[in-house]
């Protein structure tokens, strides 16, 4: 009977000693050589939000009472938030869904909380720039008035010049007729 306990106790003690050695503070890692085999493995402990501080944000979908949140919309929102958070350069950020209408975002070791909150709150912007025939090298950043922060409010649609504006039909003679002549296509710029 004692032999059976010894058979279990020895592996448990070895396993406990190995686990204690791995988690011991200041452990240099696994660095040893046995014959022709060399093992060099550094053990790095990544401190989370509880150990090194940081920012935890709770986002909740704002929908009218009695209306449910679409699971696909929450998944898309989670992907967007993950992409924004990854741009902050935070080590091991966590974005997870909590329930059917909340996202929990944990950013450990974040230096600038206000910048992160501003990034999470902002509305996405897709801007098209007509470059005409100008060819730019790959990777060139184009700054627009929105990127420079000088863009004002959206301009309202101009009002009609007369309060009593009426529509007038054009004659059929004013409409250009199709021709069989083809115009040459300009050559594409080459690199």
User: Is residue 62 located within the same domain as residue 89?
Assistant: yes
Is the residue at 176 inside a domain?
no
Q: Domain residues for 22?
A: 2-41
Mean pLDDT of 36-52: 77
Tally of domains within the chain: 2
Q: Which is more confidently placed, 69 or 147? A: 69
Domain identity same for 106 and 80: yes
pLDDT at 14: 93
| Final residue of a structural domain among 121, 150, 179 | 121
What mean pLDDT do residues 41-51 have?
Answer: 74
Q: How far apart are CA 153 and CA 151, in angstroms?
A: 7
Residue 68's pLDDT band (boundaries 50, 70, 90)?
confident
127 lies in some domain: no
Q: In this predicted model, what pLDDT tens digit does every residue of 125-184 receive, in sequence order?
A: 777 888 888 888 888 888 877 645 544 454 444 444 444 444 454 444 555 555 555 555
Decide if pLDDT at 43 tops 80. no
For the full predicted model, state whether its pTM sits above 0.85: no
CA angle (160, 161, 163) in 5-degree steps: 70
Residues 94 and 72 in one domain: yes
Residues 32 and 54 both lie in one domain: no
Q: What is the number of other CB atoms lying within 10 angstroms of the CB of residue 16?
A: 10
- Give the Cα separation of 152 and 172 in Å (integer): 42
Domain end among 83, 101, 121: 121
Point out the domain boundary residue: 121, 142, 159: 121
Same domain, 27 and 57: no
- Of 43, 49, 45, the closest CA to residue 93 belongs to 49
CATH at 109 = 3.30.70.3400
Identity of the highest mean pLDDT range in 20-29, 82-91, 121-130, 155-164: 82-91
């Amino acid at each position: 009977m004692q032999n059976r306990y010894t058979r279990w106790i020895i592996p448990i003690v070895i396993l406990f000693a190995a686990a204690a050695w791995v988690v011991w503070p200041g452990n240099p890692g696994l660095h040893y050589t046995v014959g022709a085999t060399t093992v060099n493995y550094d053990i790095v402990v990544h401190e989370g939000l509880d150990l090194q501080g940081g920012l935890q944000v709770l986002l909740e979908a704002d929908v009218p009472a009695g209306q449910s949140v679409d699971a696909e919309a929450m998944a898309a929102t989670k992907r967007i938030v993950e992409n924004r958070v990854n741009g902050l350069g935070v080590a091991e950020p966590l974005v997870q869904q909590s329930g059917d209408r909340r996202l929990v975002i944990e950013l450990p070791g974040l230096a600038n909380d206000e910048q992160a909150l501003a990034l999470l709150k902002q509305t996405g912007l897709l801007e098209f720039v007509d470059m005409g025939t100008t060819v730019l090298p790959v990777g060139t950043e184009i700054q627009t008035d929105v990127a420079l922060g000088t863009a004002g409010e959206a301009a309202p649609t101009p009002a009609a010049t007369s309060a009593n504006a009426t529509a007038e039909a054009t004659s059929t003679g004013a409409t250009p007729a199709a021709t069989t002549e083809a115009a040459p296509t300009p050559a594409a710029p080459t690199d």
